[in-house]
Amino acid sequence: MPRVTFSEDICKGCGLCIDACPRHIIQFSDGLNVKGYHAATVLEENMKECTGCTFCAIMCPDVAIAVNK
């Protein structure tokens, strides 16, 4: 099963990964990161929906996303 991990301290909350996800499983976190942004995240219960397409990682301008297949 693919797994998406986010470097929350790097994320600036631009939302490009949210728009790029074809399964619509990425969302903004409730809390703020060290930069004061709502970082992107995937809830654990939604991780099984990930196809490993890497669109989110490709779109991230800060290289804050890794997709492990």
Per-residue pLDDT reduced to its tens digit, 39-55: 999 999 999 999 999 99
**What is the spatial distance between Cα 11 and Cα 42, in angstroms, rounded to a whole number?**
13
Q: Which amino acid is at 37?
A: Y
Q: What residue spans define the domains of the chain?
A: 3-68
CATH code of 3-68, in short, is 3.30.70.20
pTM here is: 0.94
Report phi then psi at 41, rounded to 5. Answer: -160, 165
**What is the spatial distance between Cα 59 and Cα 54, in angstroms, rounded to a whole number?**
9
- pLDDT, one tens digit per residue, over 23-32 is 999 999 999 9
